[in-house]
Structure 1
Amino acid sequence: MAAVDAVIFDIGNVLIEWQPERYYDRVIGEARRREMFAAVDLHAMNDKVDLGGPFRETIYAMADATPSFRDEIRMWHDHWIELATPVIDHSVALLRALRAKGAPVFALTNFGIESFDYAETQYPFLGEFDRRYISGHMKVIKPDPEIYRMVEEDCGVAPDRLLFTDDRSDNIDVARERGWQAHLFEGPEGWAKRLVEEGLLSKAEAGL
């Protein structure tokens, strides 16, 4: 296996928990949430934002088109940071440990333009990457192979020398098809162990 020249983090459910259903269960109750998610494809709506669509307008348009859930859908915008929380602290510590060792660390994330800008005001570590590949700016989302090709072209690192972690197996599968090294994120401890195995961090540096 090739040495790793750059480490790439997904953000949602790797550095910040992204569980909109959990927010809605707390605020409107599980039964109402299930009814809404069955009636409205909110994740497809969010994909439009991640593809570069305007944050507020995209969500409010869906809300206006669905009067029975208008107020609840608007919460996706109005209370967005409450959907994207909490921070996964161990993962942030791994990001910082890698950078302290001089390892280039990139972000590759499905994220809207305005929602990312807002998230960065709440989560300063989002500004600590060496390079950031934000789908909203790129107009393409994972797992489309094009977004991986764009990363390769921009960073100039050979695919087999990139190590990528993401919580979704479909995103990982495409990375591997392109020759990237990859780790399915199922929790920060497993990711920490992988970084140790690759010789990028010591156990102590990885918080193990």
Structure 2
Amino acid sequence: MVIDRPQHVVFDIGRVLIHYDPHIPFRAIIPDDEERAFFLREVCSHDWNVEQDRGRSWADAEAEAIARHPDRADQIRTFRQQWVQMVPHAYDGSVAIMRSLIAAGIDVTMLTNFASDTFREARALYPFLDEPRGVTVSGEIRQIKPDRAIYDIHAERFGLDPAKTLFIDDTVKNVDGAKAAGWQAVHFTSPDQLYADLCERGLKIPRP
């Protein structure tokens, strides 16, 4: 069954268009697997990093983590210093799909949980991030997925009809957040699956 054809497609960025893995620089810094896992789980954790996506400064983030683990101050500062190594490559298949949608006249924007300064670096590294019509960056507006506000802000900024908007994200709770905001949404697992999801919704583009 063909689902209502979207007029707007909104891409997440990390782990949808570009790879992200904080383990990459820390494999050399903390060679022991268990110690590295502890560091990225308890010291510079996902939840700690999300606060930078929400707009917290890196100086405040580092100070907070160092207060908890003063013996790891150098490692904590390294997280930001070596951030560029955490985004080593694009997902070529996803980028090809995005470009095909744009070429087919589909309105494409991006909605991402990203610190404002690291997003500027990502944009310099990956110029294709300038090809969609625009982007909402969580760190710039101090709102974050999956909270309802960020979806509503993005829809208003870009004039999107939520019911005719398809959101693509690698995190299930963010997909669920988009659905709660009245959007269509799919969970990204691979470019091939994304292509199938788009075809199911009547968005016929060349296979990447």
**Closer, same or farther: CA 59–101 of 1 in aligned 2, 3 Å:** same
**Stretches of 4+ aligned residues off by more than 3 angstroms:** none
| Runs (5+) with no aligned partner, structure 2 | none
Return the match for 1:155 from 158, 176, 179: 158
**1:95 partnered with 2:98:** yes
Residue 108 of structure 2 is matched in structure 1 by 105
TM-score with structure 1 length normalisation? 0.90
State the shift of 1:135 in Å.
Answer: 0.3
State the shift of 1:22 in Å.
Answer: 4.4
Number of aligned pairs? 204
Q: Give the secondary-structure state (helix, strand or coil) at the position aligned to 2:207.
A: coil
- Is the Cα contact below 8 Å between 1:9 and 1:165 reproduced in 2? yes
Output the CA distance in 2 between the equivalents of 1:198 and 1:2.
Answer: 6
Letter in 2 for 1:196: C
Q: Once superposed, what is the RMSD of the aligned Cα atoms?
A: 1.8
Letter in 2 for 1:200: L
**Closer, same or farther: CA 181–121 of 1 in aligned 2, 3 Å:** same
- Is the Cα contact below 8 Å between 1:54 and 1:114 reproduced in 2? no
- Is the Cα contact below 8 Å between 2:5 and 2:203 reproduced in 1? no
**1:92-131 alpha-carbon deviations (Å, 9 max, x no partner):** 1111111111111110000011110111111111111102
**Closer, same or farther: CA 3–35 of 1 in aligned 2, 3 Å:** closer
Letter in 2 for 1:28: I
Output the CA distance in 2 between the equivalents of 1:90 and 1:121.
Answer: 20
Q: Give the secondary-structure state (helix, strand or coil) at the position aligned to 1:106.
A: strand
Return the match for 1:71 from 59, 74, 88: 74
State the shift of 1:86 in Å.
Answer: 2.2
- Is the Cα contact below 8 Å between 2:110 and 2:135 reproduced in 1? yes
Return the match for 2:18 from 7, 10, 16: 16
